[in-house]
Amino acid sequence: MPKEKFKFTIPIYLYLGKKKYFLNLNQYRNWHYHVNNKLKVLFKEILHNYNPLMTSQNHNNEISINYVYYAPDKRNRDLMNVIAVVDKYFQDALVVANLIKDDNTSIIKKIQIKYGGVDKENPRIEAELKDL
């Protein structure tokens, strides 16, 4: 059976009303739980609407996730600070969309993170899921 790959483009910030929320750990720890819940729902909706793969069938295989972060500017950042919240939201969205059965270590065996440089026009995180 061929190993499948799925690619996703993930936003690094979301808007609730007019307010912009960067998806990083520094911001996350200060959010009220209502804000966090609304952002998580919005994140899932955006991924579902943006990625036709989100309606794909459930994959119970062991997978790896590779993230590539493209920053909005040249400032130095703590890469894990940025990836931590996006990874949490992304894995939860994959489960809700029934793309994976669960987001625990029985399914997700490997996570890799890479800095992709600066993209002022389109800061984002590219995620690739691969069957192992």
Domain boundaries along the sequence of the chain: 5-131
Quote the pLDDT of residue 1: 37
State yes or no: pLDDT of 13 exceeds 70: yes
How far apart, in whole angstroms, are the C-alpha atoms of residue 85 and residue 96? 17
More confident residue, 73 or 51: 73
Domain 5-131 has CATH 3.30.1330.70: yes
Quote the pLDDT of residue 56: 56
Quote the pLDDT of residue 53: 61
Torsional sign, CA 114, 116, 117, 119? negative
Cβ(6)–Cβ(128) under 8 Å?
A: yes
**Segment 96-119 mean pLDDT:** 92
pLDDT digits (tens, 9 = 90+) for 19-68: 999 999 999 999 999 999 999 999 988 887 766 665 555 566 789 999 99
**Segment 105-111 mean pLDDT:** 94
What is the reported pTM? 0.87
